[in-house]
Amino acid sequence: MKGVYSAPGDYIHFKSQVPLHKIPIGTKQWRYYDFGPKVVPPLICLPGTAGTADVYYKQIMSLSMKGYRVISVDIPCVWNHQEWIQSFEKFLDAIDVHHIHLYGTSLGGFLAQLFAQHRPRRVKSLILSNTFLETSSFSAAMRWAPIVGWAPSFLLKRYILTGIHDGPQEPFIADSVDFVVSQVETLSRDDLASRLAFTVDNASVGPLLLSDSFITIMDTNDYSSIPQELKDQLGERYPAARRAYLKTGADFPFLSRPDEVNLHLQLHLRRVGVEAKPDLVRTIPKDGSGGSPGKENDEKKDHDDQPNGNGGNPESTSKESQSPPAPESSEYHGLYDQLLSSAKVISIGRQDSTLMKNQHILATGVLQVTWEFFIFSLLPIYVCSLYITQNNVWKFRELV
């Protein structure tokens, strides 16, 4: 029997509490979530090729409860890197955000570096996960790169989905893949084509004015769609950057290993001087009522914040990483359990979801064969018929 994907309970609750904003800027439509105290410099999350703003919902819920502001955006339909830089800057101006901290995974990490290179005054720090410095290898690997803008939707989806590691996986990693696959289904043909156009448009990241001490590289050690040599190039470019290695997590550690990712994000923000405002956080009630904590600034109150006490000592990464894990993990699991109980929605078996993905790939494969048959078999016949018709027309004119 065909499995039907059901969204996780905590995601259902997230959607009921956090509003999705949509604003037109020029000809671009921006979709984004903005959650947390507005007085805190935001952490802006940029997804990869297969991601949307929704894939960072676990980071939004966890970090906002600790007093951080998190903005997660969809990459709009832009077709080259220069257009991305200009469009993203207009977006920041539209939401009245000037200084930002960027967290990018895969393609999102590459775009974050490009923006930091060309707009250095706006980017205060970077967190880069499973990402790269240049796109030439992707362009060389895609034989049909010149026509990616005209490819049909099913072919674009199939190309993206086949880049995701398949096979036996542990439950949390398999669930993260299923969630991302469901998000790919929501993307339009233009969205898919423009994102793939980024990866085949030859470009590279130049030197950054940002110091390596304000950069954190967070990679998974099991497997990802980004080749290891590209991740090694990133490490060589930023030799003094902080390293946060995840033993497992695959392509989407922000979904499969949210505890560890959220901990490293919090440590990074603390290290670069971002002060959380937990006193401005509104508790999300279990009954699902109440407003978004993104609106707490409307109360127009002045708060005298007391110093943290620990000073956020940036020295000794090992000590910093070992002391906070226990409370961080317990806090997140408490929130996770609360979200699950309040949503009252249970995801169906992982095997059914995996079956859905396999059936989708099989169906798109059949369609691709049909499409290729039409292009490579029928097109020559069509050209030949045009040639014969043209010759007959010239002969007719000569007779006349």
Burial class of residue 83, CB neighbours in 10 A (0-12, 13-18, 19+): middle
Tokens representing 291 are 């407003």
Tokens representing 296 are 């707490």
Which of the 8 DSSP states describes residue 378? I
- Yes or no: say if 157 and 151 are a contact pair by the CB < 8 Å rule: no
Give per-residue pLDDT as tens, 324-342: 333 333 444 444 444 444 4
Nearest partner of 149 among 84, 85, 195, judged by Cα: 195
What is the number of helices (H) and of strands (E) in the chain?
15, 8
Buried/exposed 342-374: b ≥16 CB within 10 Å, e otherwise: bbeeebeebebbbebbeebeeebeeebeeeeee
- Yes or no: say if 38 and 299 are a contact pair by the CB < 8 Å rule: no
pLDDT the model gives residue 16: 92
Q: Which of 5-19, 100-114, 305-319, 373-387 has the lowest mean pLDDT?
A: 305-319
Q: Which residue has the higher pLDDT, 271 or 324?
A: 271
pLDDT the model gives residue 173: 87
Percent of the chain with pLDDT over 70: 68
Q: Which residues pair with 73 in a beta bridge?
A: 32
Q: Which residue has the higher pLDDT, 378 or 279?
A: 279
Nearest partner of 317 among 280, 360, 276, 264, judged by Cα: 264
pTM, two decimals, is 0.71
Give per-residue pLDDT as tens, 139-148: 777 777 677 7
Q: Which of 88-92, 302-306, 335-339, 358-362 has the lowest mean pLDDT?
A: 302-306
pLDDT the model gives residue 9: 85
Burial class of residue 194, CB neighbours in 10 A (0-12, 13-18, 19+): buried
